[in-house]
Structure 1
Amino acid sequence: MIFDVIIVGGGAAGFFSAIQIATHNPQLKVVILERGKEVLTKVKVSGGGRCNVTHAEFVPNELVKSYPRGEKELRGPFHTFCSGDTVAFFEGRGVALKIEEDGRMFPESDSSQTIIDCFLAETERLGIKVNTSCGVKNIKELSSENSSWEIETSQGIFQTKKIVISTGSNPKIWNQLAALGHTIVSPVPSLFTFNIKDIRINGLMGLSSPAEVKLIDRKNNPIKLENGQKATAKGPLLITHWGMSGPAILKLSAWGARKLFEQNYQFKIQVNWLPTYNQEEVLSDLKELKTSEAKKLVFNTRPFEIPKRLWFKILEVSGITNLHKWAEINKNQLQQLSQELTEATFDVNGKSTFKEEFVTAGGVDLKEINFKTYESKICKNMFLAGEVINVDAITGGFNFQNAWTGAYIVAKAITEVT
């Protein structure tokens, strides 16, 4: 079976590139090969089944800051196809999107099926063939001069002039790409929550509060990222049954993905529940309270904007009971209270997957990709889009935006030279 373009992988990047290719040049014969029985499975479960399509950050130089791996490389591509273009694509096909308070964008229907239906309708309208249960066994370059490709699959042999690899985090495909000469950056998990057992968070499950969180090692040294920066994040922190989650934690899990893997997920975090204060400032305020509120019960006073349950727990672990008045609080208790509020240190022992947002850091080395076309520098007429390359993002719709952008540029490159 001979096609003009073969797309390996029926996920977000695969479908988007197929649709864009067929839209730009309807004459091309395009097929998507998907190893599973169903297509777009990750789209279906993403965002809790609502599909976090993109993020309402429309400035490319700001958008790239959400990518621990790929920040520099994506700047150019985002100037070609950004989140605003994603919105225009879907709304142009009758899928209205909405922006939530934190900037995440979802279909107004709050159902990922709306996105899937849009893609399936487009592939049918454009005559794109979709082969499911079609596992790829081998990818072979037929001719280095003509750079055509032969793909051996469970459904027979396919041939094509141009091939698009959009298989996400698929070790078998990475192995085949390595055999063709690509360098694969070894995959490690990204986007995960921290497993913490500590009496200071017992009974606080479901509580969320703004915080600044720092990664530190077992010897209390700051963990530095690949670029040498200290690993720090601000945002809501959520206490869960197994430890801590929420945007602040997830950001750190993404930025620190490789370093935390090296630590075997045995490390510490330092939490400041009052991100706009440091310990000295808090201690000063507490000393003033000891004088100004001397006769009042400490438990009846909440001088900082943190949840009441969290305040009570911090008082408790600082040795302060509901019978203590401010005048009775000694120097050591004030010191510990200020430290628990701004520099609370917790031991992390392991990680848990964050909902269905399974994201991997790793893939084809970015140095081997021409980001003006997303064509491989190693294999002519081979294009790579989505998570198959070493790009990943924090949670919030950014990983999908990487898929849409890469797929669009792949399609543009293929249709302009074909």
Structure 2
Amino acid sequence: MTTRTSTPTAATTDTAAPRHPALTASDPELAGLIGAEERLQADTLRLIPSENYVSAAVLEASGSVLQNKYSEGYPGKRYYEGQQVIDRVETLAIRRAQALFGMDHANVQPYSGSPANLAAYLAFLQPGDTVLGMSLPMGGHLTHGWDVSATGRWFRGVRYGVRRDTGRIDLDEVRDLARAERPRLIFCGGTAVPRTIDFAGFAEIARETGAVLVADIAHIAGLIAGGAHPSPAGHADVVSTTTHKTLRGPRGAMLLSTAEHARAIDRAVFPGLQGGPHNQTTAAIAAALGEAATAGFCSYAHQVVANARTLAEELTARGFDLVSGGTDNHLLLIDLTDKDVSGKVAAKALDRAGIVVNYNTVPYDPRKPFDPSGIRIGTPALTSRGVPASAMSTVATWITAVVEAARAGDEAAIAKVRGEVKDLMDAHPAPGLPVS
């Protein structure tokens, strides 16, 4: 079970002091909206696998006076003066990232995951070059060469998928495609991949075909940091990751690489794609990386996986069809085809019940992406609240009841689940939220 930083809670009565006094005084409308979001995050069961709760320390760092600084360049080589403290903050984040992920080099400046991935293209490719990535409908990411992304319009995207019979990546297909298409860049990782990524297998294919291997670990970075998923270190040339999701940091990103590619990566981020870094985010990344190096975080990472596996077992026992038959990480992809309800209808019904998920395509989905057959769920946020594996039976029962209610149009049943969800959330307060 994860160790949570204790956070002073504020009373929620009308006579309580406002939680955001300066904002309440200057812009009460906006302060009210933020307060409503705080309450929503406190009262709902957040099962979106890319969402989590950051600690009070990470929140403080991201809202600090580092917002006031402009710092184009890198530590020791800036285009602005007055960087004595900023250089130390960024160097601290870099050092912690290198140590935590076992990579030679770290760049903590990318604004988010998509620009980080785009920097990999800029570092190694010319427009029109070939990139091999996982198909978006199969679980990949837009920036792995999909048509509607700049990466698919400026580069030649070739895609691999998963087997129909197993729902798992077929490395034989990846190898055949790499041999035939000779990509300059190969991406492994994605947004809806419930199974362990074979970094060593991908690295062998990249070496054989002369490609640079980029491991996109945005979803599983926290699991890797906590030892609950194999690491790409020693296999991938470049590692791209966001810093939120399972890593429980701010909305930012990092690029890690071997020493050989350090200069190319740095030049691609700045001046290639970005100007000044967001120093407040860099500080919050440093704070999150410091937390991720603790024994408590390691326990949290393993509990995320334990909760996901237990939830998968409970859902399977209730007749749900899970893509690949289960999960090895934090994420479950549920195909609702045999439930006679679409993913979108189910997701909206679950939201009314206080269970927050996202509708998602499933491999070989016959439905359109905006109204697909599946829903995607994950256990990082509920684990950060200390919800144990023993509660996964209750969560599975709620999901079952709401999906059945969505099909039948039974709003009373959905409302009943909503009250029960709030009771569980009240019993497990979220870290970092200033509400009781």
TM over 0.5: no
The structure that has the greater radius of gyration is 1
TM-score, normalised on structure 1?
0.23
Structure with the higher helix share, 1 or 2: 2
